[in-house]
Structures are given as structure tokens and as C-alpha cells.
Structure 1
């Protein structure tokens, strides 16, 4: 297993500025559908390659740094959807899935790290653990109430949601109604 890295603590002003430039260039690469070559990103950010590697020892840590805010928002949105539904388990499951789907569709870095299912940074690993707990709880409620197939777990949902999010971006034309894909998923989760 790779070393789990923690989010950087307070940095000198110049180090923070370099990190911000590296993230800005990396995000542009990601939005353009490019890989995240650290050497190229360092050059385009006008920082040394050593500086880039000090901030981000590998592509995974760079990707997770790009996605951390969206990942935190994902956990907040999923948790809020579950709480807002109160005792309505169907609404809790639907709301959590909708929140996750929306966040995945909106952030390429988040979609990429969740598609991999592996985390290099302590912060993203902790958020992932909290997210699994939230989904595990709502899935258990849904099973008890007969709303969910017995064979569906949090990792199944991760994979399915990542696939749905990718499907909305596939092809040359955007999907007119992405929520239709989520409705298909929700229908497929019900017991037969």
C-alpha cells in the first residue's frame, strides 16, 4: 500500500504561491483531458521540478490535492441529504445518490480519484472512510425496509456512480437529461 500523506500544514508565502500555481496548471491539464505530467506542469507553472515533487511526490497526490475541496463537498452534500430526509429512507438513499452524482459530474479530479478507489493522502482516505460509513448506514436502513437489493454495497455504488458520471460526458454531444441515468440506477437498486 502506498504511503498515506497528510494535507500540507501552513507554508511559507512563496511555497504556498508555488503550490497554487502548480494546482492551477494541473487543473487546466485535467480539464483538457490530459494526463498530469509533473515535469510539464512544473515547467508551465514556472517552478522547478524538485519543487513540484516536494509538493506532490506523485500524480496521485496531485490529483487528490485537486479534488480535496470537491471530495469534502461530496461528503457534506451526501450527509446533508441523508439528514434532511429524516426517517424517509427512500428519500435518504435517493438524495445521497443524487448528491454524489452531481459532485462527480462537476469535478473531473474527484471522478478520477473515486474511479481508482485508492487514496494516497490521509485527508482523502479519511473522507472516503466517512463517505463509506454514511452510505453503509443508509444502505442498511434501505435493506431492512425492503427498498434495496441485498447484494449492493458502498463499493458497488461508487463504481456505478462513477460509470454514470462518465457516461454523461461520453460522446460528442452532452447528455440532455443526466438525471435520467440516475433514475435508471435507482430503479435497478430495488429488489426484484
Structure 2
């Protein structure tokens, strides 16, 4: 099983690599298009600001590679947001894999949301053996409204989409690599149960 983690300078990737190692899988951190295209699974992480992250993708040409990948792809946090049509942060045009805009929280609650929150309305093999209302770790100021590609939700002043799935593309707003055994189970499900 060849697992590629996309390296474009906007990922907190060590924790992902360590989580995969705990599951018994090695991964390759890479920005090489051919290595990414030939991998069995691709993880698209992201931590930071949307417009600068998208510029880094464009500088490496990965903005055209990612939407055309045929194997299962998992976007995490900002990675998921960049897979959407548009992000309010930095007025950023996304990769348009998911036909939805990413918008800023407008709530009396503290923004960014930092910490543990429950996920529910679980609808995919990505959540095999995961119980409703399991806790996952989140850090973000922008969110994806619920829509047709939602496969899980959470609530932070309003109900919104915390995971997406369309064709071979998956996205999660939470950090499975920082969410203990439940997060590791989601990574394992992505590796073993995701489909093209």
C-alpha cells in the first residue's frame, strides 16, 4: 500500500505520519506529481491561511494534479476547505471538487473553534465502527455548510458539515491524526474501505 502525503508547505504532517506508523503503514511526504498519481491513497493535509496555501499549490502545479486524481484522496482541515469551490478566507478560489463555499463562523462563541467536539449523522464507510457522537479534535475559523456531499456534521453555534465525500474524494474538517484511537480508526477506514 503506497500512501502519499501531499507536501506543499502548509501541512502539520509529522502527526499524520506518526498516526499512520502506529497503524502499521509507511507514507511518503512528496510534492512530486508522478509519485502522488501512482500512490494507492493520497492524504491532502493543511494548516494555515487559505489564499497563501492555494498559492503554494499553484506554485508546485498541484492545483491541477489534485482534482484529477483517480485513487481515494483524503483532505484534512484546510485540505478539505481547499477542495471546495471558494473560501471566504483571503477570497480564495478553491479546487472546486465539492460544489460548496467555505464561510467564516458568525457566532457568539469563541473563534477559532479549538478543541474537542462531537460528530454525528455519520453516513460513510469512512466511519465504519465509529459511534455517533464520538469526539474529534478541531481547530478552525471557517466552516462548510451542510449540503449534498456531507457525510458527517457537528454543531458550533450552528450545525455544519464536518466531513464530505464525492466520488474518490473525502474531506474531514477535524484532525483524525490528533483524535486518539477514534481518529486512527477513521484513517484506517480511509486506507482499507474507501473506494474510487
TM-score by length of 2: 0.29
Which structure is richer in relative contact order (CA contacts within 8 A, separation 6 or more)? 1
TM-score by length of 1: 0.29
Q: Of Structure 1 and Structure 2, which has the larger fraction of its residues in helix? A: 1
Of the two, which has the highest radius of gyration? 1
